[in-house]
């Protein structure tokens, strides 16, 4: 929501009028000098939208503010030319409305365009979040990263490395939405005040590492050749892509990282296909390259990769993980009911590479139970289990 600066206004005053933490307003307006506002300048207020209201007989601004539960002065801030002495019946004004509802609907076939539209809406309402593309997919789609917070503890979450595990994306997007609601409304999540987490941490999220693969599973193959013919051939001629894990080159992105890659390749398929083919070398695929480059430049304190299924959390790699990883994973297990497991006979994964190269905590979290892709009727249960992990990842 936009307000317009008047003589004597300050960002601190706006935080008091709208009951929004000052830093969130400052972070929502990185393009202005918050210490030196200019009359008429636009300032973004996070966590609000404006709605149209038509003046009724007997209305006054005080009555309107009372009915809509907003300060009278907020009406002047969003209507800079409003004259309270010249209200006319039928006149339309803007009224601020605090956002207290979710924008994200996770209980649907959550393909790439739905995620992009949701991200646009979230950025519009919560401009203190930052989004950018970390790279492009085989088919040229941007891979978005979301960043929240300015703290020194740099945490990373990602989802949908594997295409048929796409339910991880709406789970993550729902958490982003709930975190934003909690911050702007200053309401705790499970009794936890989230604003200190925002101040202490910088949270990086890539909600959908493999957009091409996710859309392939949900919508079927693109009409564009030669991609369409290739993936159908690699899928043994079938148009049922529900078992597809790979990207559009038939490469399993979580077998692409230089952490015992050769050993993983030796026991897996040697040609492109729906799953487990790790490519001809590590980091050949644009999506894996984008994730590696993001990680190298970001100096993450820890990373969590969300997959399905099994309700287990893998937290080790060849005993290279630091001792604190066990403390953290035990807390993840406590808040979710998931089972910590140190190792599995699998290599070349993202968290393996992170542990190996940084000697910092890395986790693969397997959500839900059943056969991938997990059905949407598990969504609520999965989200409630995972919510504790999302929060613990910030406070641990």
Find the CATH number of the domain harbouring 69. Answer: 3.10.350.10
Q: Give the HSE-up count for residue 241: Cα atoms under 13 Å, Cβ half-sphere.
A: 30
Q: What percent of the chain has pLDDT over 70?
A: 100
- For every residue of 171-183, DSSP letters joined together read HHHHHHHHHHHHH
Residue-wise pLDDT for 289-328, tens only, equals: 999 999 999 999 999 999 999 999 999 999 999 999 999 9
Q: What's the pLDDT score for residue 171?
A: 98
Residue 218 included in any domain = no
Among 172-181, 220-229, 358-367, the range scoring the smallest mean pLDDT is: 220-229
In a domain, 103, yes or no: no
Q: pLDDT of 274-283, one tens digit each?
A: 999 999 999 9
Assigned domain for 266 exists: no
Could you tell me if residue 204 is inside a domain? Answer: yes
pLDDT beyond 90 at 11: yes
Q: Is the same domain home to 195 and 304?
A: yes
Asked if the model's pLDDT at residue 345 lies above 90, the reply is no
Residues 122 and 92 in one domain: no
Q: Please indicate, yes or no, whether residues 9 and 93 belong to a single structural domain of this protein.
A: yes
199 shares a domain with 304: yes
> Are residues 134 and 190 both part of a single domain?
yes
Same domain (yes/no): 166, 83: no
Count: domains in the chain: 2
Does 138 fall in a domain? yes
137-190 residue pLDDT tens = 999 999 999 999 989 999 999 999 999 999 999 999 999 999 999 999 999 999
Of 207, 173, 123, the C-alpha closest to 387 is 173
Active site amino acids: 347, 366
Q: Residue 289 belongs to a domain with what CATH number? A: 3.40.630.10
Q: Clarify whether residues 60 and 164 are in a common domain.
A: no
Q: Do residue 124 and residue 74 come from a single domain?
A: no
pLDDT of residue 197: 97
Q: What are φ and ψ of residue 48, in 5° steps?
A: -130, 155
Task: Give the mean pLDDT of 368-382.
Answer: 97
Give the tens place of pLDDT for each residue, 106-134.
Answer: 999 999 999 999 999 999 999 999 999 99
Q: For residue 346, what pLDDT is reported?
A: 86
Q: Clarify whether residues 305 and 349 are in a common domain.
A: yes
Residue at 107 is within a domain: no
Distances (CA, A) of 301 to 295, 310, 355, 359: 10, 26, 11, 10
Query: Are 210 and 160 contacting, i.e. CB atoms less than 8 angstroms apart?
Result: yes
Mean pLDDT over 28-43 rounds to 95
Quick one: 71 and 141 in the same domain? no
Q: Is residue 272 part of a domain?
A: no
The confidence score (pLDDT) of residue 204 equals 98
Backbone angles phi, psi at 361, to 5 degrees: -65, 130
Instruction: Decide which of 33, 67, 98 is a domain's last residue.
Output: 98
Domain termination residue (choose one: 98, 132, 160): 98
Residue 20, in any domain of the structure: yes
Residues 11 and 44 in one domain: yes
Tell which of 52, 73, 98 closes a domain.
98
State the pLDDT at residue 108: 98
Residue 9 structural domain: 2-98
Q: pLDDT at residue 344 above 90? A: no
Q: Are residues 76 and 199 in the same domain?
A: no
Residue recorded with tokens 């009359």: 39
pLDDT in tens, 182-213: 999 999 999 999 999 999 999 999 999 999 99
């Amino acid at each position: 929501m936009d307000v317009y600066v008047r003589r004597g206004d300050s960002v601190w005053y706006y935080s008091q009028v709208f009951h929004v933490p000052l830093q969130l307003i400052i972070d929502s307006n990185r393009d202005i000098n918050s210490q030196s506002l200019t009359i008429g300048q636009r300032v973004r207020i996070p966590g609000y939208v404006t709605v149209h209201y038509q003046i009724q007989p007997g209305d006054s601004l005080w009555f309107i503010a009372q009915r809509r539960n907003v300060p009278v002065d907020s009406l002047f801030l969003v209507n800079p030319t409003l004259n309270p002495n010249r209200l006319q019946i039928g006149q339309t004004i803007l009224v601020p409305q605090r956002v207290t509802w979710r924008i994200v609907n996770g209980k649907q076939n959550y393909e790439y365009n739905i995620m992009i539209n949701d991200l646009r809406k979230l950025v519009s309402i919560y401009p203190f979040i930052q989004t950018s593309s970390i790279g492009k997919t085989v088919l040229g789609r941007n891979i978005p990263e979301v960043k929240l917070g300015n703290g020194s503890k740099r945490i990373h979450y990602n989802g949908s490395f594997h295409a048929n595990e796409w339910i991880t994306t709406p789970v993550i997007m729902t958490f982003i939405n709930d975190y934003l609601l909690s911050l702007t409304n200053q309401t705790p999540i499970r009794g936890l005040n989230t604003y200190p987490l925002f101040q202490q941490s910088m949270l990086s999220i890539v909600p959908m590492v493999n957009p091409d693969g996710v859309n392939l599973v949900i919508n079927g193959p693109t009409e564009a050749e030669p991609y369409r013919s290739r993936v159908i051939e690699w899928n043994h001629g079938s148009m049922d892509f529900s078992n597809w894990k790979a990207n559009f080159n038939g490469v399993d992105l979580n077998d692409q990282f230089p952490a015992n890659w050769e050993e993983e390749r030796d026991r897996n398929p040697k040609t492109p296909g729906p799953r487990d083919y790790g490519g001809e070398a590590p980091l050949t695929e644009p999506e894996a390259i984008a994730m590696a480059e993001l990680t190298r430049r970001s100096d993450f304190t820890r990373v969590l990769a969300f997959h399905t299924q099994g309700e287990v959390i893998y937290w080790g790699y060849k005993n290279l993980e630091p001792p604190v990883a066990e403390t953290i994973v035990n807390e993840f297990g406590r808040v979710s009911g998931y089972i910590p497991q140190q190792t599995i006979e699998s290599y070349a994964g993202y968290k393996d590479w992170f542990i190996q190269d940084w000697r910092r905590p890395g986790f693969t979290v397997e959500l839900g139970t059943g056969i991938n892709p997990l059905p949407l009727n598990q969504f609520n249960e999965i989200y409630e289990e995972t919510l504790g992990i999302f929060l613990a990842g910030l406070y641990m």
